[in-house]
Amino acid sequence: MDYFLTVAVFTAITTLGVLGTFVLTGLTGLFSLGQAAFMGMGSYIAAVAVVKYGVPFPLAVAMAVVISLGVAYVIGYTTLKIRQDFFALVTFGFGEALRAIMDESVKYTGGAMGFSGVPQLTTPWLAFGSLAAAVWLVRNVRNSKFGRDCLAIRTDELAAQVIGIDAFGHKLKVFLLGASLSSFAGALMAFFTTYVEPAMFGWIQSAIWIIMVFFGGRDSLTGAIFGAATLSALPEILRFASQWRVLIYCLIILMIINFRPAGLFGRWELSLENIGLRRRRVGSETPGGKSHA
Amino acid sequence: MPEDQVLLEVKGLSKRFGGVVAVDDFNAKIGKSQLIGIIGPNGAGKTTILNLLSGIYACDSGEIRFNGRNITGLPSFEIGRLGIARTFQNIRLFEDMSVLDNIRSAYSWRAGYGLLKAMVGWKGVGSSEHRVVEQSRHWLEKVGLKENLHEDAGSLPYGLQRRVELARALAGEPQLLLLDEPAAGLNPAEVRGLIELIRRLFNELKLSIILIEHRMEVVMELCQWIHVQNFGVTIAQGTPEEIQKDPVVINAYLGEEFECSR
């Protein structure tokens, strides 16, 4: 495959995974250091099912998402009632535990050596199409009452409860949505890179995803996509600068956080209305209100 | 009061924080379309009573019945859905959201669509949102806000934020509205406006209101019945005229002023 196309597909799949962090951390304000672990879970379940048990690819992907949803339900149900700073710690523990399981169950996963020999079944069209569909779904959610509820809970959970919003139930739904997006991305990733290893899905990866969301603007879906796409492609693009690229990467992030604390896009969303191609309709306001970019 | 006219009945409500008894054996009976006040010096447990009624705190003992139903121990979102709305002493708006969206949030649980329908952009979502916007505008007009609906709620002046919060509470179409010091931080002109507004809403909407307030003119002008709290205990209750003459109340308040002026 062409080098640029490879980078583009890789970026698209990563962006799909980061959408999970966008709804959970960006909109709802729940810091999960285990989000990448869901990607890892999706990768391993789908890859092992196909390679070891001969499960057809589409079914394996569906299995990966469904099992991840089940795990997310258990994790979410038990942890989303505790305080949000503890939630970050518990998801950190979950992510690392999952990574340890992948590391230790050598018989099935190949352990720290990684799991190779996965057929390359994720075509560029599948990756781009999946991303487009996911963006459309997340955009619909954000523009509905769910987007408002996310922001309301993030800003003042107590006030949200008093006006009838079931904060726990809402957070659980958001957690499940995030987990399904990230695990789906994981399944696609395994069948694109043809090789997965536990180290790809540790808490550092989850932290990088959070950085990507805040870089683009945590209230803006456009920003999250831009942040994920740019920051995951940037290390590749900066490859010519060899040993300086990590430094440049960090500098760019620091500049953004310093000069645009609300992220690159703030609350601005790319839409036909916002670039003046269509007139605004009643009720089409985004949850964040006016654009502030 | 005939049984079918009772909206809220509170029996023996108590709450302690460590060694401090914040509310001790609070009893009250509130009928439909009644406006009652709770007054008392700082630390008398007034806000704690509202927090217990709206399910923010769990009580240690006692019973709260709303429309004949025991609501003791229900989570606050369920109490909100049953028809008890409130405002807060230190305004709690969703500051980063527009004024309109603040009100729209109060309709979330009645929007008539779930996550899956929202995800696929089911056509009912649009019409539901349209209806909610219209209804939200209606409540904002009721409290006198017609402009700046797309501005961030947090960027409005203090007095207007109070009105937005009131509109958000009303959007829950409550039968009982709890107002926690609605006049705090308002200037005398704004206080007059607030008194008129509460009176008008009370007459138009036929709801019951429990009002906590330090500004005596607000309580004395609006309330039909007043509970006086001191150190968690109800020391007197009656009509505004009775309360103004009650020696126990005068003692509680004047005793405090004597301490201050020394």
Measured in residues, chain A has a length of 293
B21 to chain A, closest Cα gap in Å: 23
**DSSP for residue B34:** -
| Residues on chain A touching B120 (C-beta within 8 angstroms) | 137, 140
| Highest mean pLDDT: which range of A179-188, A235-244, B213-222 | A179-188
Average pLDDT, chain A: 89
Confidence tier at A289 by pLDDT (50, 70, 90): very low
Size of interface A-B (CB pairs under 8 A): 124
- Across the interface, of A141, A173, A282, the residue whose CB is closest to B133 is A282
| Torsion sign (Cα): A228, A230, A234, A237 | positive
Question: Smallest Cα–Cα separation from B222: which of B203, B246, B206, B204?
Answer: B203
Q: Which residues of B touch A219 (CB under 8 A)?
A: 96
| pLDDT exceeds cutoff 70 at A34 | yes
Pull the structure tokens for residue B47: 């806000």
Choice between B241 and A112, residue whose per-residue pLDDT is larger: B241
CB-nearest partner of B152 from A160, A161, A289: A289
B98 pLDDT band, cuts 50/70/90, is very high
Please give the Cα distance from B25 to A207 (Å, whole number).
50
Question: What pairs with residue B35 in β-bridges?
Answer: B209
Which residues in chain A are closer than 8 Å to B110, comparing Cβ atoms? 164
Interface contact flag, B151 A290, Cβ < 8 Å: yes
With CB atoms and an 8 Å threshold, state whether B96 touches A155. Answer: yes
Residues of A in contact with B111 (CB under 8 A): 144-145
Contact between A211 and A253 (Cβ < 8 Å):
yes
- Mean pLDDT on A210-235: 90
Give the best residue of A80, A145, A168 to mutate against chain B (max B CB count within 10 A).
Answer: A145
Residues of B with CB below 8 A from A160's CB? 94, 105
Say if CB A6 and CB A120 are below 8 A apart: no
Q: Is the CB of A161 less than 8 angstroms away from the CB of B77?
A: yes
Q: Dump the DSSP string for chain A.
A: --HHHHHHHHHHHHHHHHHHHIIIIIIT----TTHHHHHHHHHHHHHHHHHHH---HHHHHHHHHHHHHHHHHHHHHHHTTS-HHHHHHHHHHHHHHHHHHHHH-HHHH-GGG-EE-------HHHHHHHHHHHHHHHHHHHHSHHHHHHHHHHH-HHHHHHTT--HHHHHHHHHHHHHHHHHHHHHHHHHHHSEE-GGGGSHHHHHHHHHHHHHH-TT-HHHHHHHHHHHHHHHHHGGGGGGGHHHHHHHHHHHHHHH-TT-SSTT----TTTTTSSPPPTT---TT-S---
Cα–Cα distance for residue pair B37/A176, rounded to 1 Å: 45
Count of Cβ atoms closer than 10 Å to residue A198 Cβ: 24
| pLDDT digit string, tens, across residues B191-203 | 999 999 999 999 9
Q: Does A148 touch chain B (CB under 8 A)?
A: yes
**ipTM for the whole complex:** 0.91
Q: Which residue would you say has higher pLDDT here, A85 or A205?
A: A205
Q: Does A239 touch chain B (CB under 8 A)?
A: no
Distance from CA of B250 to the nearest CA of A (A): 35
pLDDT at A7 over 50: yes
pTM of the model: 0.91
Does the pLDDT value for residue A285 go beyond 90?
A: no
Q: What is the pLDDT of residue B143?
A: 93
Q: Do residues B77 and B170 touch, judged by C-beta distance below 8 A?
A: no
For residue B34, pLDDT over 90 is answered with yes
Residue A284 has pLDDT above 60, yes or no: no
Q: Report the C-alpha gap between A44 and A26 in whole angstroms.
A: 27
* Residues A196-205, mean pLDDT to the nearest whole number: 90
Q: What per-residue confidence (pLDDT) applies to B234? A: 93
The DSSP-derived string for A34-50 is THHHHHHHHHHHHHHHH
Strand boundaries in chain B, DSSP class E: 6-17, 20-31, 35-39, 61-66, 69-70, 84-86, 176-180, 208-212, 225-230, 233-238
